Every structure is written in structure tokens, then in C-alpha cells.
Amino acid sequence: DQQVKQNSPSLSVQEGRISILNCDYTNSMFDYFLWYKKYPAEGPTFLISISSIKDKNEDGRFTVFLNKSAKHLSLHIVPSQPGDSAVYFCAASDDGSSNTGKLIFGQGTTLQVKP
Amino acid sequence: GAGVSQSPSNKVTEKGKDVELRCDPISGHTALYWYRQSLGQGLEFLIYFQGNSAPDKSGLPSDRFSAERTGGSVSTLTIQRTQQEDSAVYLCASSNRWGGAIGELFFGEGSRLTVL
């Protein structure tokens, strides 16, 4: 039972263009969503998050959009840079009032940004 | 350093042997998590410790897996009678209610387990 799904295993974009990574979830109790970025041989690092009371959160080149009715979120990176090449994981929590709730992760999407 | 530390970074073992993986969380972090990433797969939740509460073991794949957290700090994940399907990168993470963004987990670099 995959509660958080990233249906695209990989994405390739040209430097300077927009990267859009998608994520779907099934559990309506999820109230907090996060994106993590992972380079090879390193642990994932936190990138950006969004509460279910919002539909957009922006941090520099990174914007996360949440569509609760569709149970869908997306991460936009613009402009994309070669250093953004990594695996991106979507994650969800049903305990957004505390940051010590467990996270359920998607399968990840490998982003390649070509110079 | 001040981050999450895991050891060993790499472990090769024979099928049937027991292994122990260690995690030193960030000092003061109340929550500790174990995840694993099998080849080509996402991050699979294994177990979660929060303070003095009973751990959430709902992600452990079989009774060959166990974990403990001593003194609210260091954690050990033990896999008994290892099988080839246990081969994966085992990631430990910690978090603190009062530090970082809500939901932010701080991950270690992982322990890569290979079962021959």
C-alpha cells in the first residue's frame, strides 16, 4: 500500500528551464508535506515543506504547490541548475503539529539537469 | 561533527549471519527514525522512537529485525539471520520538536548492507 507515490522515476531538463516533479498521495489524514533531495552516497536533506492549510510555498528557486482535492503536490525548480541533479523524494506526515511525527516517503524521482 | 552519525558505513556479510547497525543522533533530538532504501526503491519506514514513548515498529519487515534506543540517544538496528533481500542502505534520522522546520528530519549518510 503505497501511500505516497512518485510515478516518474526520472526527469531530464535543460539548464535554465523549469523542472516539475510530481507526487500523489492517498491518505487524506496527511497534513504536512515535504520534499527532500538526495545526492549519491549522502543522506537526504530537507528542501521545502508545505502545510495542508496552504496551497503554495516558495523558497528561492523552489516552489511547492499543493492540491488537496486532487491529493497532489508538485515541486517546481526554476531556473534549473546542473547542481540540482539529484534524487528528489516527496514525503508526508499526519502529525503536522509536531515535527517529530514519522514521514512516509515516495519512491523518488531522479532529476538530471543538462548544461 | 554535529550531524547524525552512522556506523559501519559499509557492511558485507554472509547469509544467515546477524548484523548490528549503529546510529548516533544529533544531541538533544528527541525523535529517532530508521529507514531503508533498497536498490531502485524509495525510502521505506522501519521504526520510530520518540522520547520515552513505546517505539512505532509498524515498518519492521519481519521479526528478524529489531531496534533499541539506549538512554534516549544511541540506537542499534539488529538484523538476525540476514537474507539477501535485506541488502539495502539503512538510513537513520533524528529530529527535534524545537529545531528546524516542522517535519524536518536530519539524516545520516547511511549504512550500506550487502548480504552475500
Percentage of chain B exceeding pLDDT 70 = 93
User: How open is the CA angle B23-B10-A41, to the nearest 5 degrees?
Assistant: 85
pLDDT, position A109 = 96
Interface membership of B56 toward A (CB under 8 Å): yes
B70 min Cα distance to partner chain A (Å): 18
Q: pLDDT tens digits, residue range B11-42?
A: 999 999 999 999 999 998 888 999 999 987 88
Rounded mean pLDDT of B91-97?
Answer: 87
Q: Could you give the CA distance from residue B41 to residue B62 in angstroms, rounded to a whole number?
A: 18
Q: Which residues of A touch B109 (CB under 8 A)?
A: 41-43
pLDDT, position B72 = 76
Contact between chains at B105 and A103 (C-beta distance less than 8 A): yes
Residue A18: all three cell numbers together: 523549469
Facing A42 at nearest CB: one of B43, B44, B109: B109
Spans in chain A with pLDDT lower than 50 = none
pLDDT, position A101 = 67
- Comparing alpha-carbon positions, the chain A residue that sits nearest to B106 is A45
* Cα B62 to the center of its chain, rounded Å: 15
Q: Could you give the CA distance from residue B94 to residue A47 in angstroms, rounded to a whole number?
A: 16
Contact between chains at A44 and B31 (C-beta distance less than 8 A): no
Contact between chains at B105 and A46 (C-beta distance less than 8 A): yes
Q: pLDDT tens digits, residue range A27-52?
A: 998 888 999 999 998 999 999 999 99
